[in-house]
Amino acid sequence: MLSAARRHRALIDSLTASGALSDRRLVSAFRSVPRHFFVPLHGAVTTSGAPLDADRAPERWLEAAYADAPIVTRIDDGDADRGEGVPTSSCSAPGVVARMLEAAGLRDGDRVLEVGTGTGWTAALLAARLGDDRVASVEIDPQVLEAARAGLVRAGRSPRTVHGDGEHGLAEGAPYDRVVATCAATRVPRAWIEQTVPGGLVVLPWTAMEGAGVLARLTVHGDGSASGPFLGGLGFMPLRSQRPPPAAAPSAEAQPDETRLLHGGDPIAPLTRFATAFPVTVMVPRWRMGLRPAPGGTGRRLWLASDDGRSWAQVVPAGTAWRAEQAGPRSLWDEVEAAQEEWRSLGGPGPDRFGLTVSADGRHRVWLDTPDGAGWDQD
């Protein structure tokens, strides 16, 4: 059985070799904070659902603690009666944490607010890099926060940790040089921008639709706006106040207003690849999508639904072709096809060519290449 120290060293070596970690001071912080201090001894699971128990299976528990993968630490906000089985807190994958903290461009003397303490590991890394007195972290779940504080004690770190709703930031102690969110947002809360100094950064996972998130690095401007690029895809659990409403595939009894055949290849495949699906999520407003087995178990079907539940569409196999069905005030499949055509007309840009501007009055606009380039309002 490899020791925790050897596994820890190997993990950081792999992050530096891959280029995920390059800042010398940040590398030192990662080396000084063991991740296993922040992994629950019992009750956590891997993303595939495998249970982790430090007493019954110590080798598997330690292996998971030092794998470059997330560990789910809480389901359904701890409400066993809810029965949804939805992960609501985790210890983020080390490579993802490294990307976020590298993107934050941390400097000696910076004061940082972390939104979403989670297990406390990221707060410990920030404290190791900047000093305990330069870091504050806010967490909405009191039980999660209690466990994080215990992990911080084990690691010998003492950043300020506060129980509260991170959507409101943490006014006491503002302004900050950096706000780093470890939860995804579709709307960047005004408090995060207002509590950041002009020229400072807000770093967060941003998404127009769950499953298609990106890392956003926004520079705060003196006029109260913030703008910056997307730095590749990543997924995080949503800010609690911005969890998406339930959405379901149309029922087998649902009758379409329009049906037509589609030819020319698999129309579903592009929407299952992040590089091609992400631009569509920002070009088509207020919608959801998902995959289900096709009727009769032959292949798969794609379903679409508007956020208000009034419109739906689905694409299903039809012999050698595909059949598109849609109903409601919006023709959702037509909107998705038009967005894909627009994306192709722009040269098929990847997610890294897009960025976000949040105006002083809270309007969100995703843009291509530059803030003054082609753009799509998200309001």
pLDDT tens for each residue of 193-204: 999 999 999 999
pLDDT above 80 for 12: yes
Q: How far apart are CA 192 and CA 234, in angstroms?
A: 20
User: Of 96-105, 306-315, 354-363, which range is least confident?
Assistant: 306-315
Token pair 């379901």 in the structure block, residue: 248
pLDDT at 35 over 70: yes
pLDDT band per the 50, 70, 90 thresholds, residue 83: low
- Asked whether 93 and 70 are in contact (CB, 8 A), the reply is yes
Neighbours of 184 (CB within 10 A): 22
Residue 81 has pLDDT above 70, yes or no: no
Residue 329 has pLDDT above 70, yes or no: yes
Q: Is residue 122 within a helix (H) or strand (E), and if so which, with residue range?
A: helix 121-130
In the 8-state DSSP scheme, what is residue 184? B
State the DSSP string of 322-369: EEEEEESSS-HHHHHHHHHHHHHHTT---GGGEEEEE-TT--EEEEES
Which three-class secondary structure state does DSSP give residue 221?
coil
Range with the poorest average pLDDT among 12-26, 56-70, 292-306 = 292-306
Give residue-wise pLDDT tens across range 139-177: 999 999 999 999 999 999 999 999 999 999 999 999 999
Active site residue 251: no
Report, as an integer, the average pLDDT of 114-121: 97
pLDDT reported for residue 267 = 93
Task: Tell me which amino acid residue 209 is.
Answer: M
Look at 189 and 80; give whichever has higher pLDDT. 189
Q: Return the pLDDT at 86.
A: 79
Which one of the listed residues 92, 137, 227, 311 is annotated catalytic?
Answer: 92
For 73-87, 161-175, 305-319, 352-366, which range has the lowest pLDDT when averaged over its residues? 73-87
Average of per-residue pLDDT values in the chain: 93
Residues contacting residue 200 through CB under 8 Å, at least 6 positions apart: 175, 176, 177, 178, 179, 219, 220
How big is the chain, counted in residues?
Answer: 379
DSSP string, 302-317: EEEEETTSS-EEEEEE
| Residue 108 predicted with pLDDT over 90 | yes
pLDDT higher than 80, residue 297: no
Q: What is the pLDDT of residues 209-263, one digit of tens each?
A: 877 899 999 999 999 999 999 999 998 888 988 888 766 777 777 899 999 999 8
d(CA 268, CA 245): 24
Question: What confidence score (pLDDT) does residue 19 get?
Answer: 95
- The torsion angles phi and psi of 288, rounded to 5 degrees, stand at -135, 160
Residue 343 region, left (φ>0) first, then alpha (ψ -120 to 50), else beta? alpha
CA 101 to chain centre: 14
Position 210 scores a pLDDT of: 77
- How would residue 298 be classed by pLDDT, with cut points 50, 70 and 90? low
Confidence of residue 134 (pLDDT cuts 50, 70, 90): very high
